């Protein structure tokens, strides 16, 4: 058995911990392969990889892209060229779209009577400001009793201060990662299709676009889900990966590190062998 983690967030997006704090936790939890996957930014990757090297952890460059879909569809990318201009400019466009959206969300929140400003939420982040930061601000100011309520009442799709943002198509996200020499993986598939019977048609399209892997071991998956996902991954000739989606702080109570079998996961391809 090994402990790895190919999906977690830092203060460069909506995580609570800096890359240095994350590496400390990964080390303490005996994680041996780790990929930082911030939303729409790779600004933390250089520091993260350097710290991993010092801590004798195999570090992997990563990122998480949200795609346009009727529900949640997130594409993780790994081991891409961090200087690829296509990827960097797409990430910048996504960040600009977030900025425009955040301004509108705050206008709506103020119309609802809340005394909140975007700069206050931005102070929680070291880069990309997302809805989790806005939820935290509403909570810190006593407007909601917890982060889930902030999403349910104000921030989730259809809620009072919801604003959509411009998103790439799922196939475009996969293509961007491939064109940057990276490996695209569908994140937390049960968030995309809560009924796993609905997953194969989604995977067919993504596989045709170049999908490489499926996050089979992720937060909230039961042993039978994992079994099904491993089977589905094998049917589609996708590599199974594992990640906690750890954010820290007030998010769901998860820790870094996912236990995996030594022979079921493609470590060699991700980080040049153990």
Q: DSSP state, 220?
A: T
* Total site size for Fe ion, rule CB under 5 A: 4
The minimum distance between CB 59 and Zn ion, in angstroms, equals 19
What would the x/- binding string for Fe ion be over residues 15 to 54, using CB under 5 A? ----------------------------------------
The SS3 assignment for 259 reads: strand
Cα distances (angstroms) measured from residue 266 to each of 23, 215, 270: 22, 12, 7
Identify which of residues 66 and 241 has a Cβ nearer to ligand AMP in the complex: 66
Closest alpha carbon to 46 in 58, 25, 60, 64: 60
Using CB under 5 A as the binding rule, whether residue 14 contacts Zn ion is answered as yes
| Structure tokens that stand for 155 in this block | 């921030």
CA distance 33 to 214: 17
Binding mask 102-131 for ligand AMP (x = CB under 6 A): ----------------------------xx
27 in Cβ contact with 129 (< 8 Å): no
Instruction: Name the H helices within the chain.
Output: 19-28, 45-54, 85-111, 118-122, 131-140, 147-150, 170-179, 189-192, 199-209, 223-235, 267-271
Using CB under 5 A, count the residues that bind Zn ion.
Answer: 2
131 binds, among ligand AMP, Zn ion, Fe ion, none (CB under 5 to 8 A by kind): ligand AMP
Give 240's DSSP letter: E
Partner interacting with residue 125 (select from Zn ion, ligand AMP, Fe ion, none; CB below 5-8 Å by kind)? none
HSE on the CB side for 208, CA within 13 Å?
5
Which of residues 11 and 116 has its CB atom nearest to Fe ion in the complex?
11
Nearer to ligand AMP, 25 or 131 (CB): 131
Residues from 15 through 74 that contact ligand AMP (CB under 6 A): 39, 66
Q: Say if CB 66 and CB 128 are below 8 A apart.
A: no
CB of 262 to Fe ion, least distance (A): 25
Structure-block tokens of residue 105: 């969300």
Rounded least distance, CB 152 to ligand AMP, Å: 7
Asked whether position 74 contacts Fe ion by CB under 5 A, the answer is yes
Cβ proximity to Zn ion: between 64 and 241 the closer is 64
Contact 36, 246 (CB under 8 A): no
Question: Which residues pair with residue 183 across a beta bridge?
Answer: 78
CB closer to ligand AMP, 40 vs 265: 40
Cα–Cα–Cα angle for 34, 260, 11, rounded to 5 degrees:
30
* Site for Fe ion, residues 169 to 188, rule: CB under 5 A: 187
Strand partners, 258: 4
Considering only 197-205, 216-224, 240-248, 263-271, which stretch makes contact with Fe ion by CB under 5 A?
240-248
Part in contact with Fe ion (CB under 5 A); list of ranges 23-31, 60-68, 120-128, 253-261: 60-68
Which residues here bind ligand AMP, judged by CB under 6 A? 14, 39, 66, 130-132, 147-148, 151, 156, 247
Which residues here bind Fe ion, judged by CB under 5 A? 64, 74, 187, 245
């Amino acid at each position: 058995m090994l402990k790895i983690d190919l999906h977690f967030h830092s203060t460069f997006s909506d995580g609570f911990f800096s890359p240095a704090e994350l590496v400390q936790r990964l080390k303490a939890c005996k994680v041996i392969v780790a990929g930082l996957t911030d939303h729409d930014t790779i600004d933390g990757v250089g520091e993260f990889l350097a710290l991993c090297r010092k801590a004798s952890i195999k570090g992997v460059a990563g990122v998480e892209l949200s795609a346009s879909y009727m529900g949640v569809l997130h594409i993780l990318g790994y081991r891409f060229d961090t200087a690829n201009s296509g990827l960097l400019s797409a990430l910048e466009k996504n960040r600009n779209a977030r900025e425009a959206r955040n301004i509108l969300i705050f206008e709506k929140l103020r119309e609802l009577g809340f005394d909140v400003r975007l700069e206050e939420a931005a102070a929680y982040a070291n880069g990309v400001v997302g809805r989790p930061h806005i939820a935290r601000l509403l909570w810190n100011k006593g407007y909601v009793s917890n982060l889930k309520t902030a999403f349910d009442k104000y921030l989730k799709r259809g809620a009072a201060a919801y604003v959509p943002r411009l998103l790439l198509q799922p196939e475009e996200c996969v293509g961007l990662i491939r064109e940057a020499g990276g490996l695209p993986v569908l994140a937390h598939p049960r968030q995309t299709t809560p009924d796993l019977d609905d997953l194969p048609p989604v995977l067919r399209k993504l596989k045709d676009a170049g999908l490489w892997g499926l996050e089979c071991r992720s937060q909230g998956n039961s042993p039978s889900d994992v079994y099904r996902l491993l089977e589905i991954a094998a049917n589609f000739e996708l590599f199974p990966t594992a990640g906690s989606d750890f954010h820290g702080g007030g998010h769901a109570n998860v820790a870094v590190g996912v236990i995996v079998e030594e022979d079921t996961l493609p470590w060699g391809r991700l980080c040049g062998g153990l």
